[in-house]
Amino acid sequence: MVGPNGLEPSTSSVSRKRSNQTELRAYSDFHCNEIAHLRQRRGGSLPSQLQTEAVTATISFMGDPQEYEAAANPFQPGTMVIVTLGNPREKFWGAILGLRAEGVSLCGIELASFEDLVALIKDGEPFSPGVVFFPIHRVERMELDLPDGGIASLTQRFSASTGLDAASILRRYASHPSLAEAPK
């Protein structure tokens, strides 16, 4: 199953432990071996101060878990993406609201309506992006909305045409649908 962290789910449904822990395990094994080596040299135990320092060093060596997660998974809430769906085949452009093993929640529009949305916003008209959930079995592909060489991304095209930040508008709409009037 494809989940937010690749081909494996984030956690096991039974143990609630992360299932893809190769790097974390390597860091932990390294520090556990260092602690065992110190214990052996000291006759089997470490003073409490040294135990605390060893654990702190292990945690700081691994880094901030949120930074690690963001680097390992660029598909975080608020990220602009293009989702290709199957059965029926559709493409959707929008900001991620949530990504779980069950599916992806987005605030955005069908890709075919992109130019219409830009025209509405430029004319000062109200707009209503969709707040949708797509079950994971329908998601064929999800890609970051990034530029390709000299070709601007949809987000960049939106900003250049309207002077507004697409991600902030879509997140604001998703949290307060009553703000559907044209942004100023």
- Report how far residue 157's alpha carbon sits from residue 93's, in angstroms, rounded to the nearest whole number: 13
Query: What pLDDT does residue 19 have?
Result: 47
Q: What is the pLDDT along the chain (184 residues), one digit of tens a residue?
A: 455 555 545 554 554 555 444 444 444 444 455 555 555 665 655 555 555 554 454 444 455 666 666 567 899 999 999 999 999 999 999 999 999 999 999 999 999 999 999 999 999 998 889 999 999 999 999 999 999 999 999 999 999 999 999 999 998 888 876 655 544 4
Contact 38, 54 (CB under 8 A): yes
- Assign 175 to helix, strand or coil: helix
Query: What pLDDT does residue 148 have?
Result: 93
**Helices 154-162 and 166-175: crossing angle, nearest 10°?**
90
Backbone angles phi, psi at 98, to 5 degrees: -165, 150
**Going along 46-115, which residue ranges are E strands?**
80-85, 90-100, 103-110
Residue 184: both structure tokens together: 């100023």
Nearest 5°: CA angle at 47, between 42 and 48? 150
Query: What pLDDT does residue 178 have?
Result: 61
Q: How many CB atoms lie within 10 A of CB 51?
A: 14
Query: What pLDDT does residue 131 have?
Result: 94
Residue 14: both structure tokens together: 């039974």
Domains of the chain: 1-73 (no CATH), 80-179 (2.30.30)
Query: What pLDDT does residue 47 have?
Result: 56
Global pTM reads 0.60
Separation of first and last alpha carbons in the chain: 43
Query: What pLDDT does residue 104 have?
Result: 97
Residue 34: both structure tokens together: 């260092």
Q: How far is CA 76 from CA 4, 59, 97, in A?
A: 9, 23, 8
